[in-house]
Structure formats: C-alpha cells, structure tokens
Amino acid sequence: MTIETRELQTRLAGWYPGNIQQSQLAIDGSIGPTDLVAIRNFQQPHGLVVDGIVGPKTEAALNALHNTDNSTAHFDWQEFKSPRDSSNVGKLPLLKLVYNLRLLMWNLEGLRDRLNEPIHVNSGFRSVSYNTSIRGAPDSMHMYGLAADISTRNHTPLQVADYAKRCGFSGVLSYPGHTHVDLRARIGRLWYWA
C-alpha cells in the first residue's frame, strides 16, 4: 500500500459507519477494526473483492477518485465557494480549512456512492463575513469548511439525510429543497441528527 495511513483514513471516512450509529472513522494513523469496516464498505460498491485489505485494486479505485489538485472525482474546489463571497477568512487557519474541505469531499463521495447519483452542492465554505451577511448560524460549520447544503434529483431531502447518517456525517438536517450535512464532531461538537 502506498497511500499513507492518515490519507487512507481521510479517503475512507465517507464509507464508515456501515450502519446508522453515531460514530466516525478515526483519522489517527493506526489501522483498526473500524478501518476494516470502511475498507469493506468501499470495496463492495466498486466491484472489488470485499476482504478489508487495501491491495493494488482497492488502492487504484481510491486513486481514481483523487484528483491531482487534492479534490475528488465528483467534487471540485469551486463548488464549495460562493462567487458572492470575496473573503477566505473562516474560523480556522487556511490549511486546516483546506484539509476539512477535503475530508468533506471524501465523505460526500461516500454519500454519492450510497445514493448512486450525483450530488449538487448548493452551499459549502462560507467566510465569517459572508456567513454574517446571509444571517447564517453564528457558529456555522460552513465557516470551518466542514459543511455543505446539498440536493439530488432523485432523492428527497429526508432520504438524503437518512443516507448521510450512514456516511460519517455528525450533523444532518433536512430542509425543504436541500439537506445540510456536516462533520461537526471532528471539532468536538455534539452530534446533531434532525
């Protein structure tokens, strides 16, 4: 395996948990039982041997979802930033925001696999000033690079929410027309599934 362990865990985060439970894949550099669940959950929809081993074929499938600019195959940096938001100042330093957005993209890849259809990102990262201007929540996960408001063509917001709970999202809220998903537990916030 040539993918570094923490990077592997980042890429697999959207394929854990395998059932509805309030837990997430640890990104700690140590492979354990939860990582094996995530690997198997990734292998199954990609037509791979479901053995929990990151061999050449599993690694190739993961690499096929990774772009050279560190975005993912189905999500790019542009769709996470509103053209009306002229600032990049969030609640965290820029490098941490970028990492959080990558983790968010990988979780969304896992959700896209489960939904078996494209996901449209309506809102992603928001600067502090932009969040204030649109009257966003004062401590919105969007300002941490950990949230997206999403929609799909063939699933209702409630259906998307149900699937998101199986893909490591610790914040899931349904609204008319879209679903809010976030990774709030990654910064120590309590899980909130509505």
Strands 178-182 and 147-151: antiparallel
| Stretch 130-157: mean pLDDT | 97
Domain boundaries, the chain: 5-193
Task: Tell me the pLDDT band of 21, cut-offs 50, 70 and 90.
Answer: confident
Q: What are phi and psi of 132, to 5 degrees?
A: -65, -40
User: What does the DSSP 8-state code read for residue 142?
Assistant: G
> Residue 138 has which token pair?
């004062």
**Half-sphere exposure in the Cβ direction for 47 (13 Å, CA):** 2
Class level of CATH domain 5-193: alpha beta
pLDDT, tens digit (0-9, with 9 covering 90-100), for 51-101: 999 999 999 999 999 999 999 999 999 999 998 998 989 999 999 999 999
